[in-house]
Homo-oligomer: A and B are copies of this chain.
Amino acid sequence: MRVGVFDSGIGGLTVVKSLLEHQLFEELIYFGDTARVPYGSKDKNTIIRYAIEAVEFFKNFELDLIIVACNSVSAYALFEMRESATCPVIGVVDAGVLATSNSLDKKASNILVIGTHATINSQAYERGLEKLGFSNIQTKATPLFVPLVEEEIVEGAILEETLKHYFNNVQTPDALILGCTHFPLIRDALSTYFGEKTKLIHSGEAIVEQLEKEFTFTEKYSHPKLKFFASENPEALRKIAQKWLYE
């Protein structure tokens, strides 16, 4: 199977990492819209427009599947992408909702969703979780985590103050949905802050869980073909991919 992975920038590489660990695909084509990143602070209509352009780009590759690794796009533009695409399109929001549902008691569990402004404002996670029977859901936009990760600040005083700033008045959740692909990179800090009892829901692992449930994978591909495209400076993206995926 040949899969396309779309993200607004580099964050989707955390999803690629999960896909590679599970050796699901023969060929993987990544597209990061680095010339217009970030999407998480942008408008719904803009995000939809950019997402449809990404589908057009992927039409060059005869894909079997498109994975939307960006939470903001998954939250706002999944249906529009499906309308334009000629293959299935799945996104990290639905995957995260399903993964939460598979691993937690719906009545007893208190879920906290964090993400960019766009993802949180969309209420996409809330709607999905409520449909599946969850009722104790808190959400919190935590946009500062994105530039912190991009500046490689994944521990230390600034991050600790930012955690306090966002979570001071938040009840410790049973599950924390990492609703932005940058957040797995501060997984340790989030785990330390909330403690071991809080289960972290990771978009990459959630996508793998959904894929293994909905599609049939007969072979394992330990050396898939990888191609990285970006709307600006693809070389920079390839360097970061090398670092995040293999180091």
Interface residues, chain A, with chain B CB atoms under 8 Å away = 34-37, 41-43, 45-46, 143-144, 146-148, 150-151, 153, 156-158, 161-162, 164-165, 232-233, 236
CB contact under 8 A between A43 and B144, given known A158-B161, A162-B158, A164-B157:
no
The 6 closest A-B pairs by CB, nearest first: A46-B232, A157-B161, A158-B161, A43-B233, A147-B147, A43-B232
Determine how many copies of this chain the complex contains. Answer: 2
Q: Judge whether B150 and A41 touch: CB under 8 Å.
A: yes
Nearest-CB distance from A183 to chain B (Å)?
A: 15
Q: Judge whether A158 and B150 touch: CB under 8 Å.
A: no
Within the assembled complex, what's the spacing in Å between the Cα atoms of A156 and B147? 18
Within the assembled complex, what's the spacing in Å between the Cα atoms of A150 and B144? 10
Chain B residues, Cβ within 8 Å of A45:
232
Q: Judge whether A148 and B157 touch: CB under 8 Å.
A: no
Chain B residues, Cβ within 8 Å of A165:
153, 156-158
Nearest-CB distance from A82 to chain B (Å)?
A: 23
Nearest-CB distance from A150 to chain B (Å)?
A: 7
Can you list 23 residue pairs at the A/B interface with Cβ under 8 Å? A34-B42, A35-B36, A35-B42, A35-B46, A36-B36, A42-B233, A43-B232, A43-B233, A46-B232, A46-B233, A143-B147, A143-B151, A144-B147, A144-B158, A146-B147, A147-B147, A153-B165, A156-B165, A157-B161, A157-B164, A157-B165, A158-B158, A158-B162
